[in-house]
Structure 1
Amino acid sequence: MQFDKFVFLPKLEDTYPLYVRNIVNEMSNTVKFPSFDGSKGLWIMSDYGGEHKGAGFNTYSFLICCHDKTPVYRDECKKIREKHSLNTPFKEFNYKDLDSQRVKASLDDFLKIADSYLHGVLVTVSVDKNIPSLFGNTKREGQRFIQKQLKDSGLGEWKGEIAEKLMRICHPIALYLSLLRSKTEKFMWLSDNDAINADGKKRSFEDTRNIFTRVLAMYTKDPFEIYGFAKSFKDDPYTNDILSLTDFAAGAIQDILSSKVKNIDKSISKEQEKIFSWLGNDSNFLMKHHFIFTKSKTDLWDVGKVNITNASSSFRG
């Protein structure tokens, strides 16, 4: 696996949401990006956190990794699942359920193989819940703007908060995908089951897919020849094991920021400490980028990167 010290960041045009331009500015201070030269296709996994009562941040996590490197990872996952009896009965790795003795016994190995065999980048964007919208000065303004654009474009009729969530997710994924594609012409986006990919009365999962391809076209002139979208694979534990890494990131970083930035008291388990440490350290193959948007007293918001050291974190804004 090679790493690019720099990538050619897109020109910061006014057509990009301010939210994305802020991320690009922070990217310029990021030392390394993965290189996917020679890759035949990319996996995109995503999960989201912070929607429960008492959370101080919404977190949006996604992993972009080289698909043709994942068979070795899957083989190692199979060994771990057999060693710790994680398939009898089936046990999913889930940040909200780290108390299982089987999960506790296998967590070190599970995080180690992710760093050793997954080639890519894990990204988390955290947004202060006191920020009403990332697409307008007020919640009403931002969400109505998105709703109108989607409806006028024939992309379904959406509830305001779900429409904004979808845009918060689609734009950074599209940005990273455009930067990292190399000569790759295929990708598959696998998302956890969520309101953004559920069928509604006046919109569908097909609309979600079409919205993402429209957003992606903002960032890359060359279309992907083959692409797909899917929800969690119920009968494929090893693919869901990769998806669990984004669940870990979304949940853990929400907990860290709620504690350190919002001063919300939280007890931290040894298992959470292990995940914090894993998120705070790049491996030779897997990079981790964490961005934070906090409510500003003088502007719409402040932006920075989250630096994690075990249970402690700092952010630069």
Structure 2
Amino acid sequence: MLSEGPPAQVDKLANALVFKHPSIPLLGNAEEYPLLTRVIDGVLALKKDRRELLLPNLHEFDTIGIFSDYGGEAPDSKYSTYSFLFSAYDLREDTLQRLEATRAANNGFGEMCFKKLDDGNRQRALPDWLAAPDRFEVPLSGLLFNLVVDKAVHSVVFKNDHLDRAVIAACLRDEGFGEWKPDVAEKLIRIVHCVAYWCAVLARDGQKLLWMTDDDAIVAQPRINGFRKILAAALRKYATIRYADIAFATPFKNAKRKGSLNDLLSYPDLAAGSFDSYFTTMQKFGTPVVKSTTVEVLNWLCEQGLGLKRLNILLEPNAIGGADATFFSMVRAIEQPPNTVRIGIRL
């Protein structure tokens, strides 16, 4: 865990921020749910049984902020990546102020994102940017969940059949959720059901949800109303939680607002892009061929933060036509940083 506070206080705070008794396994009659959330629920249950599952305790906060971004759209990408930040929205201001200070100290660059990491200002800012959510003063309690899906997995809804995407689109149309292209329908179900599953695990009655997703075909007009209906149906499917409010947004276009919630969206953006680059080059060349900034992000993703927990799941096809999920953690390419503190979490 990365922090710079006194060890005893760090230990106390870290334990207070961990969700000790999550409702996992969550799914009862598993056949009612997509293959995706069934396999996620199964591997999380195994991790919980081994007392290795670190999740954030978000119940003390008024609002859960959800920020998501996706990778793997390039024609040569071999994997699709989906990254979600579930965070204590009430604590956002301290992290956002640290990020804005980091930006100002590096010539006031624009958005921090994976595609712009060749820029020198962003490269210099990256270490402090990654460290910002885990500062001891006011850490950002949350979970950065990263799902990497081998594109050889055609569908994660029914049984990993290449015809499933057309069936999904037809089901959405017949149930009144609008017209969706098969590939977009598959992506929509993956994203919405991940969000609904984790909200069922992390949220409580009376909380508000704010979800900011990257601009994507799943939220393009004129299907936005269908998207909202699908989200509401999925949230009801996984839990009986009564949310006080559910708000939805895409990244702000107004330049004056760039130093705001868009900055929290940078974490799933960096994760999705880095994992796509790592796994795609690994499959192509037998070894990852990535830039030093990508290595820096990957190293950060293999650590657990004081406030921000990281959980990475890889989904690959199995021999019987389904899909298997496994946890993965990257092997550090550099030495452990000197400010790393090892903490005993009591689960």
**TM-score using structure 1 length:** 0.91
Give, in angstroms, the shift of residue 311 of structure 1.
Answer: 4.7
Contact 1:217-1:223 within 8 A present in 2 as well: no
Q: Return the letter of the residue paired with 1:18.
A: L
Q: Return the letter of the residue paired with 1:216.
A: L
Match of 1:131 among 153, 159, 163: 153
1:106 corresponds to which residue? 125
Confirm whether residue 3 of structure 1 aligns to residue 25 of structure 2. no
SS for the counterpart of 2:146 is strand
Match of 2:229 among 200, 204, 210: 210
Counterpart CA distance in 1 for 2:302 and 2:319 is: 28
After superposition, give the CA deviation of every residue in 1:251-276 in whole Å (9 maximum; x if it has no partner): 11122222345545553222111101
Q: Return the letter of the residue paired with 1:245.
A: Y
Confirm whether residue 196 of structure 1 aligns to residue 203 of structure 2. no
Equivalent runs, 1:159-170 vs 2, <5 Å? 159-170=181-192
Confirm whether residue 23 of structure 1 aligns to residue 45 of structure 2. no
Q: Return the letter of the residue paired with 1:170.
A: V
After superposition, give the CA deviation of every residue in 1:57-105 in whole Å (9 maximum; x if it has no partner): 101111000011001111111211211122xxx5211112211111011
Match of 1:279 among 277, 286, 301: 301
Q: Return the letter of the residue paired with 1:8.
A: S
Contact 2:282-2:288 within 8 A present in 1 as well: no
Confirm whether residue 150 of structure 1 aligns to residue 172 of structure 2. yes
2:65 corresponds to which residue? 43
Shift of the 270–15 alpha-carbon distance from structure 1 to 2, 3 Å rule, reads: same
Shift of the 115–193 alpha-carbon distance from structure 1 to 2, 3 Å rule, reads: same
RMSD after superposition: 1.8
Match of 1:220 among 239, 250, 260: 239
Give, in angstroms, the shift of residue 139 of structure 1.
Answer: 4.9
Counterpart CA distance in 1 for 2:141 and 2:209 is: 15
Unpaired segments ≥5 residues, structure 2: 1-15, 335-347
Q: Return the letter of the residue paired with 1:19.
A: L
Shift of the 173–242 alpha-carbon distance from structure 1 to 2, 3 Å rule, reads: same
**Greater shift after overlay, 68-77 or 113-122?**
113-122
Counterpart CA distance in 2 for 1:12 and 1:256 is: 35
Unpaired segments ≥5 residues, structure 1: 313-317
After superposition, give the CA deviation of every residue in 1:103-144 in whole Å (9 maximum; x if it has no partner): 011111100102333210000111111111112446553112
2:329 corresponds to which residue? 307
Report how many residues are paired: 306
Q: Return the letter of the residue paired with 1:185.
A: Q
**TM-score using structure 2 length:** 0.83
Confirm whether residue 96 of structure 1 aligns to residue 115 of structure 2. yes
Confirm whether residue 234 of structure 1 aligns to residue 253 of structure 2. yes
Counterpart CA distance in 2 for 1:210 and 1:264 is: 43
2:344 corresponds to which residue? none
Give, in angstroms, the shift of residue 151 of structure 1.
Answer: 1.1
SS for the counterpart of 2:62 is coil
More strand by share: 1
After superposition, give the CA deviation of every residue in 1:30-52 in whole Å (9 maximum; x if it has no partner): 52111013201011000000110
- Displaced runs of 4 or more, over 6 A: none
Confirm whether residue 171 of structure 1 aligns to residue 193 of structure 2. yes
After superposition, give the CA deviation of every residue in 1:153-196 in whole Å (9 maximum; x if it has no partner): 21111000001000011111111111111345201110010011
1:315 corresponds to which residue? none
2:105 corresponds to which residue? 83
2:92 corresponds to which residue? 70
**Greater shift after overlay, 176-185 or 135-144?**
135-144
SS for the counterpart of 1:276 is helix
**Greater shift after overlay, 135-144 or 45-54?**
135-144
Q: Return the letter of the residue paired with 1:36.
A: L
Contact 1:6-1:33 within 8 A present in 2 as well: no
Contact 1:258-1:264 within 8 A present in 2 as well: no
Give, in angstroms, the shift of residue 290 of structure 1.
Answer: 0.8
SS for the counterpart of 2:82 is strand
Q: Return the letter of the residue paired with 1:122.
A: L
Counterpart CA distance in 2 for 1:5 and 1:222 is: 19
